[in-house]
Amino acid sequence: MKDENVIWHQHAISKQDRAQQKKHKPCILWFTGLSGSGKSTVAGALEYVLNEQGVHTYLLDGDNVRHGLCKDLSFTDEDRQENIRRVGEVAKLMVDAGLVVLSAFISPFSAERQLVRELVGDSEFIEVFLDTPIDVCETRDPKGLYQKARAGEIKNFTGIDSDYEKPTSAEITLNTSENSIQQSVEQLITHLKANGVIS
Ligand SMILES: Nc1ncnc2c1ncn2[C@@H]1O[C@H](COP(=O)(O)OS(=O)(=O)O)[C@@H](OP(=O)(O)O)[C@H]1O
Ligand SMILES: Nc1ncnc2c1ncn2[C@@H]1O[C@H](COP(=O)(O)OP(=O)(O)O)[C@@H](O)[C@H]1O
């Protein structure tokens, strides 16, 4: 906080009031994994199913957010940290509005993922680790970025010359090398039902 004269305003309608109008519990499904691990694909497929069930969702996607809110940020460690800090704050506002938020960012560092977890609390943060080995991601290479990174045309590429810290206690780990997109969606839906997010 830069200015101590900015005071928090308590409004009449609370987070609980907004949540009660929904048919689900608000939360963040935080997808993390290497480029090409399947974050956007699985998050998008899950959002489709949730929407069919009348769940109010929003999918925050790294590629898209970096065209607007975070278009001033690069892929240095510092800018990735700021990227996730901003996205975490946006996701928190969306949870406050009562949504099931799906976020698909590489989010390579444990500290920033933990920071977002602490913004909403354990009960509203579901970390989803796409545990896809880099050789599988590189074979998929849906945007040709690994090829460019190996050719030295992209610097600071995650998994090549920029770190990815694997989650050690994610709520859900998806194996996209062995399981289909549909099986991953079923695994996620089962978790959401078991934890009372959806009925
Ligand atoms: N250097 C480098 N490293 C990794 N990824 C790169 C890079 N340059 C561009 N891209 C593209 O940007 C997408 C990752 O953005 P994120 O905002 O998710 O990254 S981060 O969370 O801040 O690390 C990522 O999207 P996904 O492939 O969907 O993960 C890439 O398409
Ligand atoms: N089982 C699977 N789960 C998710 N994606 C898969 C799977 N098998 C193949 N793919 C493909 O892998 C690519 C993953 O790309 P994407 O979803 O953009 O990953 P990310 O958002 O992590 O960069 C897509 O082209 C997708 O069709």
Residue 27 backbone dihedrals phi, psi, to 5 degrees:
-170, 170
Q: Decide: 159 and 137 in contact? Cβ < 8 Å.
A: yes
Closest C-alpha to ligand 1, atom 2? 157
- The residue ranges of every structural domain in the chain are 15-133+163-194
Residue list, ligand 1 pocket, CB within 6 Å: 35-36, 39-40, 62-63, 66, 75, 80, 83-84, 105-108, 143, 145, 154, 156-158, 162
177 labelled ligand-binding: no
**Confidence (pLDDT) at 13:** 96
Ligand 2 centroid to Cα of residue 86, in Å, is 25
Query: Average pLDDT of 134-159?
Result: 98
**Confidence (pLDDT) at 2:** 77
Query: Average pLDDT of 69-78?
Result: 98
Closest ligand relative to 83 C-alpha: 1
pLDDT tier, 38 (very low <50, low <70, confident <90, very high otherwise): very high
Q: Decide: 18 and 98 in contact? Cβ < 8 Å.
A: yes
In this model, does residue 1 exceed pLDDT 80? Answer: no
Query: Average pLDDT of 82-90?
Result: 98
Q: Decide: 38 and 188 in contact? Cβ < 8 Å.
A: no
The average confidence (pLDDT) of the chain is 97
Q: Decide: 130 and 176 in contact? Cβ < 8 Å.
A: yes
170: left (phi over 0), alpha (psi -120 to 50) or beta: beta
Query: Average pLDDT of 61-70?
Result: 95
In this model, does residue 65 exceed pLDDT 90? Answer: yes
Ligand 2 centroid to Cα of residue 97, in Å, is 29
Closest CA to 89 of 122, 129, 60: 60
Query: Average pLDDT of 118-132?
Result: 98
35 labelled ligand-binding: yes
The top-level CATH class assigned to 15-133+163-194 is alpha beta
> Residues with catalytic annotation?
107
Ligand 2 centroid to Cα of residue 130, in Å, is 10
**Confidence (pLDDT) at 3:** 86
Buried-exposed string 69-105: b where 16+ CB fall within 10 A, e elsewhere: ebeebebeeeebbbbbeebbebbbebbeebbbbbbbb
In this model, does residue 90 exceed pLDDT 90? Answer: yes
Closest C-alpha to ligand 2, atom 16? 38
**Confidence (pLDDT) at 144:** 98
Sign of CA dihedral 59, 60, 61, 64: positive
Q: Decide: 128 and 190 in contact? Cβ < 8 Å.
A: no
- At 63, list the tokens: 């590629």
CA angle 97, 101, 107 (to 5 degrees): 130
**Cα gap 171→3, rounded to integer Å:** 37
